[in-house]
Chain A
Amino acid sequence: MPIWEPENECMSRSELEQLQLERLQATLNRVYRNVSFYRKRFKEMDFRPEDDLTEPADIRRLPFTTSKDVSDSYPYEMFAVPLREVVRVHSSSGTMANPRVVGYTRQDLKTWSTIVARILSAGGVTQDDVIQVTFGYGLLTGGLGIHYGAERIGASVLPTSVGRTERQIKIMQDFRTTVLCSTPSYALVIADRIEEMKIDPKQLSLKYVICAGEPWTDSMRREIEERLFVKVTDNYGISEIMGPGVAGECLEQNGMHLQEDHFLVEVVDPATGRNLEPGEEGELVLTTLTKEAFPVIRYRTGDICRILTDPCPCGRTLYRIGRIRGRCDEVVVIKGINIIPERIGDILEQIGGERPVYQLVATRHGHMDQLEIWVEVTERFFYDKMREQRALLDIMGRKITNFIGITPRIKLVEKGSLQREEGRVKQFVDRRD
């Protein structure tokens, strides 16, 4: 498969390290000058980029940036350019009190589409392909991120966005889609529906599936490949860093090449923050090297993985990250949406006037992930009349849907019936396996 930017994806490690050093110096000098958050931080610890950065590893002296920092700077506090130079704004799913807002300059959008073009090329996409993008178009970065990269390659893009599976399948048949971009679980939903609709998957034109958006397993990959007769690659993106394109697998399927000329990668022990060696599993920490509008220094992604440094037969010299093993904070990922169980409690409290005892349960029906919220009844959450009871459940469902973007099933359960550990109810139970 062709490499989109061989001069950048295959450069020698020493050339790459020099480039990283130069870009890191420029980035630190710019955030020190333009972002009060970082200037304050650097000053507090007496870090002067011009004196204290001699090699990229010196960045380890700097504190981490957390999702809370980004959330607290809602909406524009951490932008490094005036708003008039920002041509696009995206926002994370609302797991926090404030969502995490990120901005892009015109050049940032060019960089973004280039790195998405890289991961799509790596996953088999060429200008001859018809690519169906089933990620959400909107404030989240998934849809538009992939879209611009696919256009950059020159593929024919079908921006079908999320949902309406039968229509997706009809489009896939009629428009002769050759590449599907979806979450792994949605690829399996499509496979199930194709089977139900008695369509022969071999009659489809599909060749590749570009998967992203949620932690998954190798057995899911094999299942998608066997049932849809495709080759499947894994991809990693995070909106605080850029969106899709941060890392992507090539057809060797042995880990996701990280765009190291644009991002500096570290893996740290989530508990102590200590830097780990390549190969050791820990929390992925990323620093942007070329972002203009929204540079971030040592951002804790919350995603668990490891760095793979052994050479890849594809010829790219960029290091890879292994499959994302899960989230290290309390964030729960369901259908590609990050959910913090505490926040669900906040909503229930708003509705009922008191914080009920509740538990989030993730289940998998076929290949469809479902969020259930089990709430123990109390007087405030219990009505004699069926109608009132149902109205309450409706309100709860609607409010939560508005907040997190997916529709949960809400179940009222008997007081004291939720499983307790050391007297406390576990806020999240994963029954997806």
Chain B
Amino acid sequence: MLTVKSVHTHYGSIHALKGVSLHVRPAEMVALIGANGAGKSTLVNTICGLIKPTKGRIEFQGESIETLSPEEIVRRGIALVPEGRQIFCTMTVEANLEMGAFIHRRNGQQVEMDKESMYARFPILRERSRQLAGTLSGGEQQMLAISRALMSRPKLIVLDEPSMGLAPLMVKEIFRIIQELRQEGRTILLIEQNARAALQIADRGYVLETGKLVLEGDGSVLLEHREVQRAYLGKGAREIWDA
């Protein structure tokens, strides 16, 4: 469904992505893990059209999208749940949901229906629908951010660090929600620093290191991988491995 081919991205003079390739198949959940500064968010921003790659191709459903605007990419069916949630704090919960359905704004009936199904999924959002989004707790904001993304009826959901800054119990809840989305047959690209939680629920995973792809494999395989365990799961001594 999504195919990234040897993509390079620069932030000014910084070479942030150095020839990264990955793919996501329909109904698959793929985890992208890596340390801070490895290039995970750059990759997300590149896929979503917020930064243009300097080299390489990105295909979505067989068509190149690397030159499209972010809005057009949303129209094609990619929805981003951004890092730090980035909900519209000064708007109500309901208005936030409606913003998510921006591309369907001429289809009021559909928007109402989808809003209803979001409220059914997260009853707490219905309770707070008239409240300003900024007054929600971190976990509630994350639910809102996910709902807002779903409102565009995406074919691929990109979740950027959904567990960041949340209390442990809420992290668990968010991962439960992500797993639920996966079981509904949705296609998900999950970017996470919490490697263990991400790999436990993902079909496959990629490990990014200083802008480079260093490992690819099934979630369960990466979870057992010694290098991953050392670097991201805090198991065993870190190896200095320079000959």
Q: What is A's interface to B at a CB cutoff of 8 Å?
A: 15, 18-19, 21-23, 25-26, 29-30, 33-36, 39, 49-51, 53-55, 81-82, 85, 105-107, 110, 290
Task: Tell me which of B25, B56, B211, B241 contacts A82 (CB under 8 A).
Answer: B241
B3 and A25 within 8 A (CB):
no
Q: Which residues does chain A contribute within 8 Å of B212, judged by CB atoms?
A: 25, 29, 49-50
B147 CB, nearest partner CB in chain A, Å? 32
6 contacts between A and B (CB under 8 A): A25-B212, A33-B214, A54-B56, A55-B5, A55-B6, A107-B221
B180 contacts the other chain (CB 8 A): no
Contacts of A19 in B (CB 8 A): 23
Give the A-binding residues of B (Cβ under 8 A): 3, 5-6, 18-23, 25, 55-56, 206, 209, 211-217, 221, 224-227, 239, 241, 243
**A22 with B225: CB separation less than 8 A:** no
Contact of A51 among B18, B20, B209, B216 (CB under 8 A): B18
Q: Which residue of B lies closest to A80 (CB)?
A: B241
B241 in contact with A25 (CB, 8 Å)? no
Given contacts A55-B5, A85-B226, A107-B221, 16 further A-B contacts (CB under 8 A): A18-B23, A21-B5, A22-B213, A25-B20, A26-B213, A26-B216, A29-B209, A34-B241, A39-B243, A49-B212, A50-B19, A51-B19, A53-B19, A54-B5, A54-B55, A82-B241
- Alpha-carbon gap, A107 to B221, bound state (A): 8
Q: A203 to chain B: closest CB distance in Å?
A: 45
- Inter-chain CA distance A49–B3, complex, in Å, is 20
Distance A82 CA – B242 CA, assembled complex (angstroms):
11
B18 and A50 contacting across the interface, CB-CB below 8 Å: yes
List chain B residues, Cβ under 8 A from A85: 226
**If A49-B19, A51-B19 touch, does A25 touch B213 (CB 8 Å cutoff)?**
yes
Contact B19 A25, beta carbon cutoff 8 Å:
yes
* List of 9 A-B pairs having minimum Cβ-Cβ separation, nearest first: A50-B18, A36-B243, A54-B6, A22-B21, A50-B19, A29-B212, A25-B213, A21-B21, A85-B226
Query: Bound state CA distance, A19 and B21, in angstroms?
Result: 9
Q: Which residues of chain A are within 8 angstroms of B239 by Cβ–Cβ distance?
A: 82
Contacts of A54 in B (CB 8 A): 5-6, 19, 55-56
Establish whether residues A22 and B23, one from each chain, have CB atoms under 8 Å apart when the complex forms.
yes
Chain B interface, DSSP helix/strand/loop, else mixed: strand
Given contacts A18-B21, A33-B241, A50-B211, contact A25 B226 (CB under 8 A): no
CA distance A12 to B178 in the complex (A): 29
How far, in whole Å, are A34 and B22 apart by their CA atoms in the complex? 22
- Compute how far the CA of A107 lies from the CA of B217 in the bound complex, rounded to whole angstroms: 11
By the criterion CB–CB under 8 Å, are A22 and B19 in contact?
no
> Smallest Cβ distance from A182 to chain B, in angstroms?
33
B1 to chain A, nearest CB (A): 11
Known contacts: A18-B21, A36-B243. The answer to whether A53 contacts B6 by CB under 8 A is yes
Measured CA separation A26–B215 after assembly (Å): 5
Q: What is the bound-complex CA distance between A68 and B144, given in angstroms?
A: 61
Which of B19, B217, B221: most chain A CB closer than 10 A? Answer: B19
Return B24 CB to nearest CB of chain A, in Å: 11
Complex CA–CA separation, A82 to B239 (angstroms): 8
With A22-B21, A23-B216, A51-B18: A107-B56 Cβ-Cβ less than 8 Å: no
Residues of B with C-beta under 8 A to A35: 243
Residues of A within 8 A of B21 (CB): 18, 21-22, 25
Q: Would you give the shortest CB distance from B226 to chain A, in whole angstroms?
A: 5
| B23 contact set on A, CB distance < 8 A | 15, 18-19, 22
| Residues of the B chain whose Cβ atoms lie less than 8 Å from the Cβ of A26 | 213-216
Q: Are A106 and B224 in contact (CB under 8 A)?
A: yes
Closest CB in chain B relative to A194 CB, distance in Å: 44
Contact partners of B211 in chain A: CB under 8 A: 50
Bound together, the chains give a CA A345 to CA B127 distance in angstroms of 89
Q: Which residues of B contact A29 (CB under 8 A)?
A: 209, 212-214
Shortest beta-carbon distance from B204 to chain A in Å: 10
Shortest distance from the beta carbon of A185 to any chain B beta carbon, whole Å: 38
Give the chain B neighbours of A110 by CB distance below 8 A. Answer: 221
Residues of B within 8 A of A15 (CB): 23, 25
Residues of B within 8 A of A106 (CB): 224
CB distance from A339 to the nearest CB of B (A): 33
CB contacts (< 8 Å) of B22 on chain A: these are 22
Chain B neighbourhood of A53, CB < 8 A: 6, 19
**C-alpha spacing A29/B215, complex, angstroms:** 9
Q: Smallest CB-CB separation from B215: which chain A residue?
A: A26
In the complex, what residues of B have CB within 8 A of residue A49's CB? 19, 212
Q: Bound complex: CA of A39 vs CA of B242, how far in Å?
A: 11
Chain B residues, CB < 8 A from A34:
241, 243
A336–B136 Cα gap in the complex (Å)? 71
Closest Cβ–Cβ distance, residue A144 to chain B (whole Å): 21
**What is the CA–CA distance of A23 and B23 in the complex, to the nearest angstrom?**
11
**Residues of chain B contacted by A18 (CB below 8 angstroms):** 3, 5, 21, 23
B224 to chain A, nearest CB (A): 7
Report Cα–Cα, A361/B243, bound state, in Å.
Answer: 45
B48 to chain A, nearest CB (A): 20
Chain A neighbourhood of B25, CB < 8 A:
15
- What is the CB-to-nearest-CB distance from A230 to chain B, in angstroms, rounded to a whole number? 36
Give complex CA distance A82, B141 in Å.
44
Please indicate the chain A residues that have their CB under 8 angstroms from the CB of B224 in the complex: 106-107
Rounded to whole angstroms, the CA-CA distance of A85 and B225 in the bound complex is: 10
Among B21, B22, B25, B217, max chain A CB count under 10 A is at B21
- B221 contact set on A, CB distance < 8 A: 107, 110
Contacts of A30 in B (CB 8 A): 214-215
User: What is the bound-complex CA distance between A411 and B241, given in angstroms?
Assistant: 53
Report the Cα distance A430→B18, complex, angstroms. 52
Contacts of B241 in A (CB 8 A): 33-34, 82
How far does the alpha carbon of A278 sit from the alpha carbon of B86 in the complex, in Å? 52
